[in-house]
Structure formats: C-alpha cells, structure tokens
Amino acid sequence: MPRHIKARAERGHTSIFEGVEVVPYIDTAELFFDPEVRERHLDNDRVYRKLDRFTQLHSGTYLKPVWNKDRFLLGYKLILQLPSIATIEAANRVQEKEGGALSCFHLAIDFVSSPKKHGDVRHALNRGLLLKWRRPGPTHDEENGFYAQEYAGRKRPSRNVAYYWDRHCKITGEADCNHVELRMLRPGYIRKAGYGRIKDLLSLNPREWFSHHLDVVEFTAAQFDAFKRRIVRLHIRTNPIKEGKHVSKHFAGYMASRPRRLSGLLDRIYRGRAMIVKSRRPNVVERLTRIDMSSLIPTALSFRPGIEVKGKSGVEGVSTY
C-alpha cells in the first residue's frame, strides 16, 4: 500500500488522548449595540444605562464603549465571560429588545488529563493542531502557547484558534489542562453559521464545530527532523561546491556548516508545527496520520452553575458559584 494511502487509512488512532476528559464551554461572548444618542456623556444614552444596569446584576459581564480614532461613539460591546445558561437567556432578552448583534464568541475545549499524561497531550496539540482554511503565514507565539493566525497590521480574520498548555479548566478547576479556544471574530460569519442570537449558542454542538474547523495530526519531533533533513539534502545537492574550484578555508568552513545553519533556520520558520508546515508544504501534512477526535469531544456544552439572586430593582441576576 502506498505510504500516503496507508497514513489516511490509519485514522482513528487516539492512544495519546486515551483517558483524557474533554470539557467544551463558551469562554466569551460579545454583543454589539448601537447607541440611541451619540454623545460623549454616556449617561445621557438610555441604551448605555440599560446595559450598565445589566452588568451590575450579572456577574462576569462587562460593558465597553467603542470609539473611533476621532472619538466618535460607534456603539457598545456587552462582554460575557464564562456565562451561565441564565446569563445567556437574560442577555438574549436584552438583545431582542434593543436589537443587538452577536459579534464574537470563543468556544473553549479543555483537554483535562493526569499530570503524567499532560506533557504528551501538550506535545500532540502543540505540534499537530491544525486550523482548516488558514491563511498562509506564521503563528503568533506566546510563552505558554500560540495563536494560529498573526494579523497585527492586517484585516482581522473570521476565525482564529488559541492554544495554551498551562491554563486551568474554568469548569472543573483542574490544573493539568490543555486549553484550545476556537474564536469566531466576525458577526457576518457567525450569522451565516446560523447563530444570530446569543441564545442559539445553547444548542451549539462542540463535536461538529471541532471537526469542521480543526484537525489534529501526528507530527512528532522525529518526523519534523526527517522533514528538515530532506530540505537540507535538497539544498546541498542543488548548490554543490564546484570540483576543482579553489576556495578559502573560511568559505569551506561556511559551506560545511550549511546543514547546521539550515536546520536552525527551519526551526525558526516552522517551529515544529504542522500548522506552519501546511501553509508552505501542504503535501507533507497530507501524508500525516489524522487523529480521530469525534469520540472524545462531547456533543453538548458545559456551563458553570448559576445562582439566581435579586437585584435592588427586583430584576433577577446571576452570581458566580
């Protein structure tokens, strides 16, 4: 059997993720509202006062005015951090009454494992996580993770994925957690996906979203080293030292150091990640073994428990647990 066909036939290999608990939840959701009165004194706007009152009654919610560079008021962002079901339903009532739009949401998928297995899952996701239909280019690296797309100075993409290996699970509180966050960043893309209201997020299927937008392949350090060696051999073969040509000892030392220098350069370019390799050499990633995640990821979201409390005006709110 040809090598690439054999690799595709081996889908379903999930030994790295055996015994790993997957916890999907909504990490952040944002609603955008147009102001009723575009003034610098925000208290004069009825919409601002209503949204500000909402943030006082519901924990984990924040209100952020949006200004342009000329200090012209564009609208308001109502930000919900780790919302409960009750908070989402309350925000949906405000959205329907005031005509807000779901402008952004982050679907978090936490891979909770034992301390012994945390490192294996970290290397598998750090090297093999793929964002499908990603624009070519480098990733944005952090000390404890990376973002799939670097868009500083460019138009913000419709989607991005963030990965951190040292975050705790916000639902269970467990520390040995690998955090994958699929970020939907543009309201038009969200509406086309069928999520115009924030209440629609309650029926979101994490398994379908993960399989549609993300993929995981096996890309070990040994496979990356083999990938680099092929490039180094090709470069040396196509740029040989001409026979009989006199070269100085400095130039000879330079040519002898090419394998080491090229290997270091490839480390800085590709960073050992299949996601960057795919943007430059997609045929290499096509031959890698896909890991079937469909049986690991639940079909329903998890939510933090909410406790109903009464505000001063008698309106029900939600407090943290």
Would residue 285 count as lying in a domain?
Answer: no
Sort strands 177-184 and 101-112 into parallel, antiparallel or unpaired. Answer: antiparallel
Number of H helices, E strands in the chain: 11, 12
Same domain flag for 259 and 304: no
Would residue 289 count as lying in a domain?
Answer: no
DSSP string, 223-288: HHHHHHHHHHHHHHHHSPPPTT----HHHHHHHHTHHHHHHHHHHHHHTT-HHHHHHH-HHHHHTS
Q: Reduced to 3 states, what is the DSSP secondary structure of residue 164?
A: strand
Same domain flag for 200 and 239: no
Which band of pLDDT confidence, cut at 50, 70 and 90, is reported for residue 249?
Answer: confident
Same domain flag for 104 and 239: no
Q: Reduced to 3 states, what is the DSSP secondary structure of residue 51?
A: helix
Predicted pLDDT of residue 316:
37
Same domain flag for 49 and 140: yes
Specify the pTM: 0.84
Q: Reduced to 3 states, what is the DSSP secondary structure of residue 215?
A: strand
Would residue 104 count as lying in a domain?
Answer: yes
As a whole-number percent, the residues of the chain with pLDDT over 90 amount to: 63
CA 271 to chain CA mean position, Å: 18
Which band of pLDDT confidence, cut at 50, 70 and 90, is reported for residue 306?
Answer: low
Same domain flag for 148 and 105: yes
Predicted pLDDT of residue 311:
42
Predicted pLDDT of residue 308:
42
Same domain flag for 228 and 179: no
By residue range, what is the domain housing residue 249?
221-272
Would residue 283 count as lying in a domain?
Answer: no
Same domain flag for 257 and 311: no
Contacts of 18 (CB under 8 A, 6+ apart): none
Give the amino acid at 216. Answer: V
Which band of pLDDT confidence, cut at 50, 70 and 90, is reported for residue 244?
Answer: low
Would residue 8 count as lying in a domain?
Answer: yes
Predicted confidence (pLDDT) at residue 201 exceeds the cutoff of 90 = yes
DSSP string, 94-156: HHHHHT-EEEEEEEEEEEE--HHHHHHHHHHHHHHEEETTPPSS--EEETTEEES---TTSPP
Contacts of 271 (CB under 8 A, 6+ apart): 138, 139, 141
Same domain flag for 253 and 136: no
Same domain flag for 131 and 264: no
Which uninterrupted H or E stretch holds 6? helix 3-9
Would residue 96 count as lying in a domain?
Answer: yes
Predicted pLDDT of residue 167:
85
Would residue 169 count as lying in a domain?
Answer: yes
Least confident of 40-44, 63-67, 241-245, 269-273: 241-245
Predicted confidence (pLDDT) at residue 236 exceeds the cutoff of 80 = yes
Least confident of 7-21, 270-284, 307-321: 307-321
Same domain flag for 186 and 260: no
Predicted confidence (pLDDT) at residue 31 exceeds the cutoff of 90 = yes
Q: Is the dihedral of CA 255, 261, 266, 268 positive or negative?
A: negative
Predicted confidence (pLDDT) at residue 319 exceeds the cutoff of 70 = no
Contact of 161 with 131, CB cutoff 8 Å: yes
Would residue 267 count as lying in a domain?
Answer: yes
Average confidence score pLDDT of the chain:
86
Predicted pLDDT of residue 14:
54
Q: How many domains does the chain have?
A: 2
Predicted pLDDT of residue 237:
84
Predicted pLDDT of residue 22:
95
Contact of 304 with 84, CB cutoff 8 Å: yes
Q: What is the pLDDT of residues 253-273, one digit of tens each?
A: 777 788 889 999 999 999 999
Predicted confidence (pLDDT) at residue 307 exceeds the cutoff of 60 = no
Task: Calculate mean pLDDT across residues 9-13.
Answer: 43
Structure-block tokens of residue 124: 């598998």
Contacts of 202 (CB under 8 A, 6+ apart): 85, 88, 301
Sort strands 61-67 and 145-147 into parallel, antiparallel or unpaired. Answer: unpaired
Measured CA to CA, the distance from residue 136 to residue 277 in angstroms comes to: 10
